[in-house]
Amino acid sequence: MSRIGKLPIVIPEGITITNKNNLVVVKGPLGELKQQVDKDIKVTVKDNNVIVTRPSDQKRHKAMHGLYRSLINNMVYGVSKGYTTEQELVGVGYKAECKGQILELNLGYSHNIYFELPAEVKVQVKAERRSNPIIQLQSADKQLIGHIAAKIRSFRKPEPYKGKGIKFVGEQLRRKAGKAAASV
């Protein structure tokens, strides 16, 4: 049996979970998330726990068992506590500014990049003197926040020589040595 799939999900106070026609809906103080579950996987809510079971030991059922248990667990965590991602802009003159749900990035190109964020994602930009600007994203949906963070990073990936670009806070970059001194 799947090690992850067989673990029950504990439902915190203030969270309600409903399962109707294999559509799991999780409601909490930070929002509401929905996930369509495969027809073979059974989701039951019982005694403040969510239990995910599979019908057989087929390879496909084993894969789906752990997957849907993790997705439902991420939804429960998201609507109760939420997810936060921080990205740092490393480079001279790199700037970020948020105007409502539009993030304006100045990344050394000949033009600014305007990126519109979905309503489910909240954005803050921290720009202090003598430090790199930090973009902070908050959302209840782990998949959505990861997708948005990856899209922002794709505008200027960190390069391996100086490390300039958009990187996650705390991320270790693999750096390359520059040109070696010419030997005589």
Please determine, for residue 182, whether its predicted confidence score (pLDDT) is greater than 70.
Answer: no
Domains and CATH numbers, the chain: 9-80 (3.90.930.12), 83-168 (3.90.930.12)
Cα maximum dimension of the chain:
77
* Mean pLDDT, residues 122-146 taken together: 95
pLDDT on residue 183: 56
- DSSP symbols for 82-147: -EEEEEEEESTT-EEEEETTEEEEE-SSSS-EEEEPPTT-EEEEE--TTS--EEEEEES-HHHHHH
pLDDT on residue 4: 86
Angle at 32 between CA 28 and CA 33, to 5 degrees: 120
Residue corresponding to tokens 């990073």: 153
| Neighbouring residues of 98: CB distance < 8 A, sequence distance ≥ 6 | 104, 123, 124, 125
pLDDT above 70 covers a percentage of the chain that reads 97
pLDDT on residue 67: 94
The DSSP bridge partners found for residue 123 are 137
- For the ranges 2-11, 16-25, 73-82, 128-137, the lowest mean pLDDT is seen at 2-11
pLDDT tens digits along 54-85: 999 999 999 999 999 999 999 999 999 999 99
What is the pTM assigned to this prediction? 0.88
- pLDDT category of residue 181 using cuts at 50, 70 and 90: low
- pLDDT category of residue 42 using cuts at 50, 70 and 90: very high
* Mean pLDDT, residues 37-47 taken together: 93
